[in-house]
Amino acid sequence: MCATKTSRAAKAAPKGNSEDYLRMYRQMVRIRTFEDNANQLYLSAKMPGLTHMYSGEEAVAVGICEALTTEDKITSTHRGHGHCVAKGAEFKEMFCELLGKAEGYCRGKGGSMHIADTSNGNLGANAIVGGSMGIATGAALTSKMLGKQDVAVCFFGDGATAQGLWYEVMNMAALWKLPVIYACENNGYSEYTKTDEIAAGSIRGRAEAFGIEAHQVDGQDVLAVNTLTEGLVERARKGEGPFFIELMTYRYHGHHVGDINREYYRSKAEEKDWKDNRDPIIRFRGWLVSQGLATEAEIEALNAEIEADAKAAVEYALAAAYPDGAEVDLHVYAPTDPSVFRPGA
Amino acid sequence: MREITLSQAVNEALREEMRRDETVFIIGEDVAEAGTPFKVLAGLVDEFGTGRVIDTPISEPGFVGMAVGAAMTGTRPVVDLMFGDFLFLVMDQLCNQAAKIHYMSGGTLRVPMVLRTNLGATRRSAAQHSQSLHALVAHIPGLKVALPSSAYEAKGLMKTAIRENNPVVIFEDKLMYNDKAPVPEEEYLIPFGVANVKREGRDITLIATSSMVQVCEKAAETLAAEGISAEVIDPRTIVPLDTETLIASAKKTSRVIVVDEGHQSFGVTSEIASRINEAAFYHLDAPVMRLGAMDVPVPFSPALEDLTVPTPEKVVEMARRLCAGEMIHAA
Ligand SMILES: Cc1ncc(C[n+]2csc(CCOP(=O)(O)OP(=O)(O)O)c2C)c(N)n1
Ligand SMILES: [Mg+2]
């Protein structure tokens, strides 16, 4: 079955209980709050280098990751903070990594574009567009080969669909029925170029050409994303994968934090429209209140708590120590127990 | 003389060559209206249009391959590869195709293309956006490799590269785009394979590429204050390499340090050191020393990244030890 489906707001989709919904809301707000703080760190010149903000796309990462277990794997992108938070990462270790501190998830070696959080199955962000497509598909191969139940989700942008690697791995994933879900975050732009100018034909059609079931979903609707993903994850675990999802979304900031004057490629009116009318957090908040799952006061309290968490984590990270210089040539090669090289071992 | 930035120099070179020869065109990601993330190509699309300043999808092997084919059939493409690190994506098209076609065809086919890209760490861009990979392509016969060390070189070498009938890879240092240098208004080209003696000296030769030329010039100042007279030489292209000038200097000063931002092992510093050893062994007072980037992926943390690259202090320290005779039996 290769029908292209457009899943709409799963208004009545019964999730387990109100805790699940509140956790989804919480995770989206955590991402937004993390990004606001990261942006401030950049603007106040406290963060080395540049970073790419995930704000606006929260429902994509959260809707998908809430359908996964800790053992399930994800691969992330240069715009990866959202995936990292959604998969379960802590603020403290994330901010430490962004600031190049020793207590960061990667001991300061990776930074924003290379955060990996193996404790939660995040195999890493990637600064090479499309660079993780092989990795995610390989993780799915491991799962199948070792008879595990894990599913791998490969996050990538619309721009990454221009990378040839994707077509090579989709072919193999389809041939071998691997439990991988390709999640294309179509935010309408690749850097300073509109998606229409870099993608011919239909993106979903490309997955379908390999016999891969392809879906398109409103990436600003966390319930729609989550409901769709839950179904696909369950089927992927049963060997019915791979799958493709195109998530229609929008990035609020520039391509990176330094991309301030962007009217030559994207209008302010367009940005305002997405922010005012399709914001995933505002929309879901309204739904939670209308369903009686939370009161405005409870939501405000939650927001404040997250704000305070982020502030504390930022302060901690700013004061934290840099790695010792001796670490510079540590981790170039992984150690191997010499006993394994004995014949017969 | 007027001063312009390295970025403006590259822009001018391209503009002049595109006016001179209508078969010259630019192809790459966000090169047209955006003028690249470093804004190096700003304004070119206004003059030459999107037919000659062509934006591509993020398909590096695809557009490099197309440039090879276009070059073989009558045009002169200038490919923009946004980061030197992306060379790894295009290696087949560049090294198996572009580099070998003239040779394999017994001289009947040519690939007059330029691949513009960059190198250089300490921009806090981590391991996949900070590499200096010029040694990798210099290893492949058939490719020429230029490493401009200032706006002046960037312009003159680019114009030569575009008129070359061979594939040329030019690496600009991404931290130098805003650095100004005197650049003449009148047209000039810098020939490949001609080193530039930036500073004359008697006691030691510092051979430096790209931004390491600045590093060595600073080191030479410090050394001069201590009574050590350092000669600084910029080869400008590593393929072809002006071995003659380097050897003559080695024979004159008897001590040499080679400084380059690529990884030290199996790199440019090793190659140049070997050539000098082979040709000037009996003239040397000490082994030719290498100073490259550490053999580690470039770390993100500033506390670590700064340790990985050659600095004026490191050059000075090594030069002092060489001149004091400390390293005669080293290595
Ligand atoms: C192989 C490669 N080519 C180019 C780049 C430069 N680059 C970084 S992000 C980006 C745009 C990616 O667009 P998309 O995949 O849509 O992701 P988005 O930024 O919109 O989330 C480009 C061209 C890169 N990092 N890697
Ligand atoms: Mg995009």
Round to whole Å and give the CA distance between A287 and B53.
48
Residue A150 has what DSSP assignment? -
The residue type of A89 is A
How do residues A185-243 score in pLDDT, each as one tens digit?
999 999 999 999 999 999 999 999 999 999 999 999 999 999 999 999 999 999 999 99
Best mutation target among A52, A103, A191 (most B Cβ atoms within 10 Å) is: A191
Residue-level pLDDT at A121: 97
From the DSSP assignment, how many helices (H) and strands (E) are in chain A?
A: 11, 8
Residues of chain A contacting B294 with CB distance shorter than 8 Å: 328-329
Pick the residue from chain A with its C-alpha nearest to B130.
Answer: A127
**pLDDT at A14 > cutoff 70:** no
pLDDT in tens, A136-170: 999 999 999 999 999 999 999 999 999 999 999 99
Ligand 1 close to Cβ of residue A327 (< 6 A): no
Residues B52-106: tens digit of each pLDDT: 999 999 999 999 999 999 999 999 999 999 999 999 999 999 999 999 999 999 9
Q: Which domain holds residue A175?
A: 5-341
For residue range A110-129, list pLDDT tens digits in order.
999 999 999 999 999 999 99
DSSP B136: H
The pTM of this model reads 0.93
Amino acid at A13: A
B60 included as an active-site residue: yes
CB within 8 Å: B124 and A127: no
CATH of the domain at A41: 3.40.50.970
For B18, B75, B77, B114, B206, the CA distances from B71, given in Å and listed in that order, are 15, 5, 6, 9, 37
Chain A with chain B: Cβ pairs closer than 8 A: 120
CB B6 within 8 A of CB B149: no
3-state SS, residue A208: helix
Q: Give the 3-state secondary structure of residue A26.
A: helix
Angle at B71 between CA B70 and CA B73, to 5 degrees: 65
Residues of A at the B interface, defined by Cβ within 8 angstroms: 48-50, 100-101, 106-114, 126-131, 159-160, 162-164, 190-193, 197-199, 264-265, 322-323, 325, 327-329, 332
Task: Give residue-wise pLDDT tens across range B290-330.
Answer: 999 999 999 999 999 999 999 999 999 999 999 999 876 65
Quick: pLDDT tens for B3-28. 999 999 999 999 999 999 999 999 99
Cβ-count burial B242-267 (b if 16+ within 10 Å, e if not)? bbebbbbbbeebbbbbbbbbbbbeeb
Q: Which domains does chain B have, with CATH numbers?
A: 3-182 (3.40.50.970), 196-323 (3.40.50.920)
Residue A15 has what pLDDT? 59
B205 near B258, Cβ under 8 Å? no
Assign B26 to helix, strand or coil.
Answer: strand
Instruction: Give the bridge partners for A194, in sequence order.
Output: A189
Residue A10 scores a pLDDT above 80: no
pLDDT tens digits for B129-186? 999 999 999 999 999 999 999 999 999 999 999 999 999 999 999 999 999 999 999 9
Number of domains in chain A: 1
Q: Whose CA is nearest to atom 13 of ligand 1?
A: A190
Helices (DSSP H) in A47-125: which residue ranges?
58-65, 81-86, 91-98
Beta-carbon neighbour count of residue B176 at 10 Å?
Answer: 22
For B211, the 3-state DSSP assignment is coil
Per CB-CB distance under 8 Å, the chain B contacts of A49 are: 123-126, 300
B89 CB within 6 A, ligand 1:
yes
Ranges of H-type helices in chain A: 18-43, 58-65, 81-86, 91-98, 133-145, 164-175, 203-209, 222-237, 268-277, 280-290, 296-319
Nearest CA in chain B to A255: B37
Q: Which of B263, B120, B124, B219 is nearest to B178 (CA)?
A: B120
The letter for the amino acid at A174 is A
Residue of B nearest to A326 (CA): B304
Distance from CA of B272 to the nearest CA of A (A): 25
Kindly give the distance from the C-alpha atom of residue A113 to the centroid of ligand 1, in angstroms, as a whole number: 12
Here the tokens at position A285 are 């908040």
- Average predicted confidence (pLDDT) for chain A: 95
**Ligand 1 contact, A128 CB (< 6 A):** yes
Separation of A160 CA from ligand 1 center, angstroms?
7
Alpha-carbon distance A227 to nearest alpha carbon in chain B (angstroms): 31
Given a cut of 50, whether residue A2 has pLDDT beyond it is: no
CA A210 to chain centre: 24
Whether ipTM tops 0.95, in short, is no
Q: A99 to chain B nearest CA, in Å?
A: 7
Residue A345: the pLDDT is 87
Whether A233 lines ligand 1, by a CB cut-off of 6 Å, is no
Active site residue B16: no
| Both structure tokens of B284 | 């040397």
Decide if A57 contacts A185 (C-beta within 8 A). Answer: yes
Token couple for B212: 């390491």
pLDDT at A18: 87
Beta-strand relationship, B144-146 and B114-119: unpaired
Which token pair is A151? 């599913």
Residue A108 Cβ < 6 Å to ligand 1: no
Q: What separation in Å is there between the alpha carbon of A78 and the centre of ligand 2? A: 11
**pLDDT for the residue A5:** 37
Give pLDDT tens digits for A284-317: 999 999 999 999 999 999 999 999 999 999 999 9
Q: Which residues of B touch A45 (CB under 8 A)?
A: none
Q: Minimal CA–CA distance to A156: which of A137, A177, A176?
A: A137
